[in-house]
Amino acid sequence: MNIKYLDLTKITQSFEPELSHRIQSVIRSGWFLLGEETRVFEKSFANYCGVRHCIGTGNGLDALKIILMAYKQIYQWRDNDEVIVPAHTFIASAESIVQSGLRPVFCDISPDDYLLNAKNLELLITPNTRAVICVHLYGKLCDVDAIIDIARRHHLKVIEDAAQAHGAKNVSGQRAGSMGDAAAFSFYPAKNIGALGDAGAIVTNDEELALTARQIGNYGQSKKYYHLRQGVNSRMDEIQAAVLSLKLDRLDKDNRTRQQIAVYYFEGINNPHVMLPYKGVFTSDSVYHVFPVFCEQRDLLQCYLADAGIETIIHYPVLPNKQEAFKAYNQQHFPVAEKISVQELSIPLHPQLNNAEIQYIVNTINQFKC
């Protein structure tokens, strides 16, 4: 067997021939930016998430950055005002804060779900704190209610980083992106709904934020060649919007397939050296963008699986605050995040995996010996 972590060729092929038809139709239209395809996708994605506004962006990092830039302009936040972000996340969550002239404050995660820990969050709030970015990492929703409760008491904005959680629902049926004040999505090709290149989106119910963010993403323009504010160039293009509209129709079905594979892993993997996520219990508020397992001999497990033809990835080997790019934070310690970063290994999980491959992954992991 040779099982890729993610097979983008297979995934892309599964949308043919309609995918090529939609792309051809944009090419024929001669209209590549700020057009009908983007308008249609923004409307559908806002409806899907259960919010009033969606603004397409060039990527997920820009979506986060533009939200922060917009709040900074609307509420006159000062340079270096603080934004709390989990210590364990993809680096973009933290980079967006620095790039909008604000200061990241890292917060250790919960050992139960590897997500922002609400108790730790409250301890980090100072008079300079303006917002919290809660990251639905691996596709699992944060405890947004607890985070909102704290944020409201301290007048903080809650920004969901939903780059890994398209379609995830809480028990009340609310989807990722609809719970906080604003949310950022990434449509990087490997996401549960991926573009054929980079794309992202902001969703919110806040009209002023939506208008400001749309202007910032388009050079700060209020109308053509009239620039009301400082902005950037970060727009979803028409080809990506056409691709994403097609893929959105299948997102729920694909997420259900991911959840079924996750159930199979929860029921099938039973090696004492390999810990399952979420205390070994399937959780339906995850769309399993990533299926993490944990092992004290993680590197050995990764080599063993590679030898057996199973590709895996580590999310993430170096925490943001330990990166060269965040030198000023290198000495800070986050015990839970640090433990996760040395033990985590992501095993293949995507809708195109077949039963034989899933069974092979389970059997191979069960035969692993330290």
Ligand X SMILES: Cc1ncc(COP(=O)(O)O)c(C=O)c1O
Residues forming contacts to ligand X in the complex (CB under 6 A) are 59-61, 89-90, 92-93, 135, 161, 163-164, 186, 188, 198, 200
**Cβ 143 to ligand X, closest distance in Å?**
17
Decide: 359 and 262 in contact? Cβ < 8 Å. no
Nearer to ligand X, 177 or 200 (CB): 200
The CB-nearest residue to ligand X is 60
Q: Provide the CA 15 distance to its chain's centre, in angstroms.
A: 22
**Cβ 188 to ligand X, closest distance in Å?**
4
Closest CA to 77 of 157, 135, 161, 153: 157
For residue 285, the SS3 value is coil
Closest CA to 140 of 173, 171, 162, 109: 162
Nearer to ligand X, 92 or 142 (CB): 92
**Cβ 152 to ligand X, closest distance in Å?**
24
- The span from the CA of 304 to the CA of 294, in Å, is 14
What are the Cα distances from residue 351, in Å, to 7, 117, 145, 313?
10, 30, 30, 17
**Cβ 89 to ligand X, closest distance in Å?**
5
Nearer to ligand X, 186 or 192 (CB): 186
Nearer to ligand X, 186 or 312 (CB): 186
**Cβ 187 to ligand X, closest distance in Å?**
7
Element (H, E) at 30: none
- The span from the CA of 339 to the CA of 342, in Å, is 5
- The span from the CA of 354 to the CA of 14, in Å, is 14
Nearer to ligand X, 89 or 346 (CB): 89
**Cβ 184 to ligand X, closest distance in Å?**
7
The conformation of residue 240, written as its DSSP 8-state character, comes to H
Nearer to ligand X, 234 or 271 (CB): 234
Two tokens at 70? 């917009």
Decide: 265 and 350 in contact? Cβ < 8 Å. no
**Cβ 358 to ligand X, closest distance in Å?**
24
Two tokens at 250? 């299948």
Nearer to ligand X, 344 or 357 (CB): 344
